[in-house]
Structure 1
Amino acid sequence: MMTRYICNDKYSFDTDNELAPASFGRLIRSSNPAIVVREVKYQKIIQSLSSFREMGARQRYTTTNYKVDQDLLNELNTLKKLRHENLVRLIDFDERDQHLYLVLERCDRGDLSSYIINSRRDHEMSFEKVMRSIIRQVADALVYLHERGIVHGNIKPSSILVKGQTIKVANFGMSKFRFDINWRSENYLYSAPESEIHLSWNPLEFKIDVWSLGVVICYYIFGERFLQSKYNEYSGKLNIAALLKEHISSKYEHSADFTNLLTKMLIKDAESRYSMHDVKYHQFLNPCMSCPEKNFCLQFLGVCVLILLVVLLFALLFL
């Protein structure tokens, strides 16, 4: 076992202390329990880029002698500046010995499976409340990324983690380096239909993330085996209403708003599919927005504020 120091010796880890495999490398447990180190092999990135270019993509990135190019380093510096409650933070990065090391915030509660079970068991949350909490937090993170021109490109169950009671989106910002054949075969279940159009598909199409998030939600409703059986049947709109009625037991009650949101997220045509902004502000995630009583209260409050301002203005002018 060898201890390695990175980022000007600020962080250390034992090279044999692996947590899990990861794209292009592995996750390693650090001596600091608040962080985890992701080790990425430059050669894996080079192989991925070579596959991407062979499919006819425009050559934007060049790497020689396992030295990653300036585009990737610039992107990592941009990702370091991102701050959002629902994003796994990239704390720092270093490059040495033909490897790239990413120092990441550690999420201590695993993936969404435990979150869903604990929420329903310990907090007695209904099925819809759990789904609302998940979609709202993930959508908040993805809208934040999209507004900054960043596509996640790899939304799947293992990319959504939990820290305490907060949901965190991981593995973002490297989507440009994921379009090799092996990556597609491993992630086909969550890839948007347009990802099959290798040559003309724009890898920065933001609605890719919307489709993938919709499939992740279906994964936790129906299970992976069910999704695999339905994969080749995706055409136009999935009949989410029928699927929910057929495959969810009576204890998992679902509203028309939930059905509508999931249906709009899983429209095959990307142009007609919801944007992540549409998802974030859908009435399923904001039930009070469509509540008549709430709207009345807000209108009444607005009138009261207006009256108060008029009274204050009158007092200032005439008293």
Structure 2
Amino acid sequence: QVLEQLQPGALGAMLVVELKTEKGAENKYIIKQVECIEENQANEALKEAMDLLKLHHSNICAYQELFVTWDNEISSLFLCLVMQHSGQGDLSSLIKEKRQKSEKITDMVILKFLGQMVDALFYIHKQNIFHRNLKPSNILVTGEASFMLSDFSTETLMTDEMKWKIRVEESRYFKSWMAPETFGFSFTEKSDIWSLGCILLDMTTC
């Protein structure tokens, strides 16, 4: 059952869904739907994304399932990524709330955030996996000083020129997280570190 649709990004729509088990339990998940140009692109992106199922880290959002589906109503092919739902919002909302209240994010929270994100990035980079789309809205808040990386992107999708054009034409606020080389479709672990530094700067200047 679809509960709500979150604000869509350049790469796709995000749905909050609820699954009822046979025992009556209700579990919430996030499904990211990414429209693909054709079957080959969808299959290639699915193949790349399979590595995300292997990630097991306390500060990385767990991926539950990946699949490709066809929407008859609009005649489009979608790659769907099923992720765990934190239920507590994201870092972007936290920063916005602090700014509206003219409050600072405490040094303790910032230090814990930095430690958790560096550890999570080190973990994925050791496995030759890059986030490619690191920004506050893709970092989940799971506690007062607990955070998780979410919404990873594959190379195939991030080098789709049409989607990329939409992304770079977003407001200056969204572009500010992107490392210079990513505008030329180049992604490395350094790109993720650049984005993390930009996020850290935003947190310290609330």
The answer, yes or no, to whether TM exceeds 0.5 is yes
C-alpha contact 1:108 1:164 (8 A) present in aligned 2 = no
1:184 counterpart (160, 168, 189): 168
1:78-113 deviation digits (Å, cap 9, x = unpaired) = 111111111111110121112222111012111125
Matched, 1:138 2:122: no
Higher relative contact order (CA 8 A, sep 6+): 2
Q: 1:136 to 1:117 in 2, by over 3 A?
A: farther
User: How much is the aligned-residue C-alpha RMSD, in angstroms?
Assistant: 2.8
Aligned length: 180
Instruction: Name the CA distance, whole Å, in 2 between partners of 1:175 and 1:69.
Output: 12
1:175-204 deviation digits (Å, cap 9, x = unpaired) = 4422422222334211123334x2xx7x23
Matched, 1:217 2:170: no
- Return the structure number with greater helix share: 1
- Return the structure number with greater strand share: 2
Instruction: Name the CA distance, whole Å, in 2 between partners of 1:76 and 1:195.
Output: 19
C-alpha contact 1:161 1:170 (8 A) present in aligned 2 = yes
Q: 1:23 to 1:129 in 2, by over 3 A?
A: same
C-alpha contact 1:40 1:101 (8 A) present in aligned 2 = yes
Please list every run of 5 or more consecutive structure 1 residues that lacks an aligned counterpart in the other structure: 1-12, 44-63, 119-124, 224-319
Paired AA for residue 50 in structure 2: N
C-alpha contact 2:44 2:156 (8 A) present in aligned 1 = no
Paired AA for residue 136 in structure 2: P
1:269-288 aligned within 5 A: none
**1:134 to partner: Cα distance:** 0.7
1:207 counterpart (170, 184, 190): 190
C-alpha contact 1:150 1:173 (8 A) present in aligned 2 = no
Matched position secondary structure for 2:192? helix
Q: 1:113 to 1:18 in 2, by over 3 A?
A: closer
Match of 1:276 in 2: none
Q: What is the percentage of aligned positions where both structures have the same residue?
A: 27
C-alpha contact 2:130 2:192 (8 A) present in aligned 1 = yes
Matched, 1:195 2:189: no
**1:169 to partner: Cα distance:** 0.5
1:223-274 deviation digits (Å, cap 9, x = unpaired) = 5xxxxxxxxxxxxxxxxxxxxxxxxxxxxxxxxxxxxxxxxxxxxxxxxxxx
Please list every run of 5 or more consecutive structure 2 residues that lacks an aligned counterpart in the other structure: 20-26, 71-76, 98-103
Instruction: Name the CA distance, whole Å, in 1 between partners of 2:205 and 2:155.
Output: 27
TM-score (ref. length: structure 2): 0.75
Instruction: Name the CA distance, whole Å, in 2 between partners of 1:194 and 1:126.
Output: 30
C-alpha contact 1:152 1:175 (8 A) present in aligned 2 = no
Larger Rg: 1
Instruction: Name the CA distance, whole Å, in 2 between partners of 1:163 and 1:192.
Output: 26
1:154 counterpart (119, 133, 137): 133
